Amino acid sequence: MNINVSNFRQEVSKVRLSKVAFAELLTVRELFEIGSQGVRFDTKVAYINPLQSSVLSEELNRI
Amino acid sequence: MIDHESHVLILDGFKVDKLSNFKSLVWTFASLLGVPMVQNHLGHKVIEVYDRGGESIEEGSRYHQTRQGAYVHNDGVSDPLPIDYLILACGQKALLGGESILIDASAVYAELMAFPEVLEELKCDFFFENRGMSEDEQLFKAPILSFSSEGIPLIRYFRVYIESAHLKAGVPLTAAQTQALDFLDTVLNQSSVQHRVLLEPEQVLISADNKFLHTRTHFIDMNAPRSEINEAERLSDLNRYMLRIWLRKQ
């Protein structure tokens, strides 16, 4: 087997969501909070509509 | 990026004031990124990492309940199936200490290539335990070292849990296995493979769990430890506080 050790990086990449993506994340969170009232928050998951949150969707895919 | 390039990154800018808002924001982000996995016998998919002031790891506490520095490890060692991503979101840092130490499995493998007999031993099965994951204790076997289909080294390791599992199985570690773990620990403790970061509030660490090992240094908090925290509290009033989420790919 050819072992690939070329991916080792000493530096940890630091990135930040763009302002638009973060605003879209906050909107998704608001919808999630409305839909999860009265239950422990980690029993439901959030969903993204790629049409309504296109920038966030694209930036998540890059991660 | 995480799968094929850096294996770890820090996402900045998760600015909120209250704990409840922090939880829902991090959870929303994580559940868009992958499928959150259960992390304990209660079915919780988010774990709050802070010092409860109770027992030590050696006395049976899980790592996230203490302020101890720990051995270098992966998180996904208690489940036969590895997790894909570890999310660690910082709500508050400690008064002193609590650095994250990050280690690429590829760097560890490169160091151990000089000791082929150690690598061969690490590729063999060891016993692991499902500590904290179920009320029914289960042991399972898995290798410490394996490889992805692209040839990237993958590591499954938490020495305390392995030693505990071998004791419970009634199968003591052999001299060769102990030596292999000693070699692995020695490499993991070398500064040449370590990268240290102090996560700041608003930062979220994302790592490919079986490609990147981690640990943290011992820490001291501003205030006395508490077993429970009120959701309405401001993040700035808390002791060191992290949220941990395990994800599998969508």
Strands B35-36 and B241-248: antiparallel
Count of CB atoms within 10 A of residue A18's CB? Answer: 14
Q: Residue A6: inside a domain, yes or no?
A: no
pLDDT digits (tens, 9 = 90+) for B147-182: 998 899 999 999 989 999 999 999 999 999 999 999
State whether B153 and A3 contact (CB < 8 Å).
yes
In the three-class reduction of DSSP (H, G, I as helix; E, B as strand; rest coil), residue B227 is classed as coil
Give me the mean pLDDT over the B195-222 stretch.
Answer: 94
Work out the angle at residue B83's Cα, subtended by the Cα atoms of residues B80 and B88, and round it to the nearest 5 degrees. 135
Direct distance between the N- and C-terminal alpha carbons of chain B, in angstroms, rounded to an integer = 16
State the ipTM, two decimals: 0.81
Identity of residue B241: Y
Name beta bridge partners: B90.
B242
State whether A28 and B32 contact (CB < 8 Å).
yes
Interface of A with B in 3-62 (CB under 8 A): 3-17, 22, 25-26, 28-29, 32-33, 40-43, 45-48, 56, 60, 62
Q: Residue A35: inside a domain, yes or no?
A: yes
pLDDT digits (tens, 9 = 90+) for B36-80: 999 988 889 999 999 998 878 777 777 788 988 878 999 889 888
Q: Residue A14: inside a domain, yes or no?
A: no
Mutate to test the interface with B, among A2, A6, A8, A45 (most CBs of B within 10 A): A8
What is the total count of domains within chain A? 1
pTM of the model: 0.88
Measured in angstroms, the CA of B10 and the nearest CA of chain A are apart by 5
Q: Report residues of chain A scoring pLDDT below 50.
A: none
pLDDT of residue B59: 76
Q: Which of A44-48, B23-27, B168-172, B203-207 bottoms out in mean pLDDT, i.e. has the lowest? A: A44-48
Could you tell me the residue ranges of all domains in chain B? Answer: 8-248
**What is the second-level CATH architecture of the domain B8-248?**
4-Layer Sandwich (3.60)
Q: Residue A45: inside a domain, yes or no?
A: yes
What residues of A are in contact with residue B11 (Cβ under 8 Å)? 14-17, 63
Domain membership of residue A23 as a residue range: 19-62
pLDDT of residue B46: 94
